[in-house]
Amino acid sequence: MASYMKWLLAMTVVFIWCFEVTQARKKREKNMFKFSDCGTNPNRPIYFTQVSASPMPIIIPGTLYVSLSGNITYDLPRRLSLEISITKYFFGVPFMIPCINSYIGSCTYDNICARFEQYESSGCPRSLWDYGIQCHCPVLATDFHIKKIPVNVPKIHGFAAPLINGNYALTVSVLGENRVELGCLEVKFSMKKRHRGWIFKI
């Protein structure tokens, strides 16, 4: 009887320990934020050294504040494109979010410099200048330190709304002529739909 009680006590301790470890892991996953410079081209000019975002998890809808630092080792070519890939994890299995209306999701934005042409005569808007963002081409070699730029995260409607909560991976690739990689950033993060209660909202 005594040996049985010792065994039962030991099993209870192991169960509690496993439960606490699992809960801690789940808590970390819900507030996940990791970044990496995913560039593979040894001659790429763009390197990312630090990225942060708050709040985390990202609350939808809401305002996200993003900071990033890095360096551009030489002037970028005038022909630039951005390739963005967004992946949502369902029970640990990744699913790529398709490009919707050429604007949201995993999309490619060609000829970025053409979007800057509107600023050639009027100059860079103060809203961008204050955050150290170049809005002209060619983008010159520099060290960049962008601090707490506000990003509006809109409300998601339709069938996707109930599926918002969870973990994501975002990959942004900067490409030049003939799709030569100029830089790459990967960010893994968590998102959460804003909860609206009778008295409080989170």
Segment 145-187, tens digit of pLDDT: 999 999 998 888 777 777 889 999 999 999 999 999 999 999 9
Q: How far is CA 158 from CA 82, 91, 124, 161, 168, in A?
A: 27, 22, 36, 6, 19
Residue 16 has pLDDT above 60, yes or no: no
pLDDT at residue 30, as a whole number: 57
The C-alpha atoms of residue 56 and residue 65 are separated, in whole angstroms, by 10
pLDDT at residue 197, as a whole number: 52
The C-alpha atoms of residue 146 and residue 68 are separated, in whole angstroms, by 5
SS3 content of the chain, % helix, strand, coil (to 5): 25, 40, 35
- Please state the rounded mean pLDDT for residues 111-132: 79
**Contact criterion met (CB below 8 Å) for 168 and 86:** yes
pLDDT: is 29 or 136 the higher one?
Answer: 136
The C-alpha atoms of residue 113 and residue 62 are separated, in whole angstroms, by 29
pLDDT: is 13 or 62 the higher one?
Answer: 62
The C-alpha atoms of residue 60 and residue 152 are separated, in whole angstroms, by 9
Q: Tell me the per-residue pLDDT of 82-120, one tens digit each, with 9 for 90 and over.
A: 999 999 999 889 999 999 888 788 999 999 988 887 777
Give the SS3 label for residue 129.
helix
Peptide bond just before 55 cis, omega within 30 deg: yes
Which pTM was predicted?
A: 0.77
Closest CA to 173 of 83, 99, 97, 113: 83
